[in-house]
């Protein structure tokens, strides 16, 4: 991943994290990484520990951003989440969500559109 792509990805994750905080979620981790993969955001509410994959695209003209969370990516997220839970056990129910972020002008987008999908897989 190039530096520009990494910067854009972090920018998108920050926008989603801000949105989640406004909605009452607590962000437990950003960019949790291990040998199995990476989870963009890990958040909590009163009932769930939520593993969130953030997908940023300029538009949904080709396909919705969630379409890029394929079966292989889902399996990597599950393995990474299992590892996280082995390190940080919790009574909260785990859940996998996808946040689609549409930013037609990249980091210069003043009002990116976020479509949040609970229980995505």
Q: How far from 101 is each of 14, 42, 66, 79, 94, CA to CA, in Å?
A: 11, 17, 10, 24, 22
Which tens digit of pLDDT belongs to each residue from 52-108?
999 998 877 777 878 889 999 999 999 999 999 999 999 999 999 999 999 999 999
Q: What is the pLDDT of residues 16-53, one digit of tens each?
A: 999 999 999 999 999 999 999 999 999 999 999 999 99
Q: Domains of the chain by range and CATH?
A: 3-117 (3.40.1350.10)
């Amino acid at each position: 991943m190039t530096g520009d792509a990494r910067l854009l990805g972090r920018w998108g994750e920050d926008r989603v994290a801000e949105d989640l905080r406004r909605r009452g979620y607590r962000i437990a981790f950003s960019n949790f990484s291990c040998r199995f993969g990476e989870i963009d955001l890990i958040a909590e509410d009163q009932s769930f520990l939520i593993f969130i994959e953030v997908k940023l695209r300029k538009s949904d003209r080709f396909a919705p951003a969630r379409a890029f969370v394929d079966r292989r990516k889902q399996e990597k997220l599950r393995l990474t989440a299992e590892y996280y839970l082995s390190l940080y056990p919790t009574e909260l129910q785990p859940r996998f969500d996808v946040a689609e972020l549409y930013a037609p002008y990249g980091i210069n987008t003043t009002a990116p559109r976020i479509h949040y999908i609970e229980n995505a897989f």
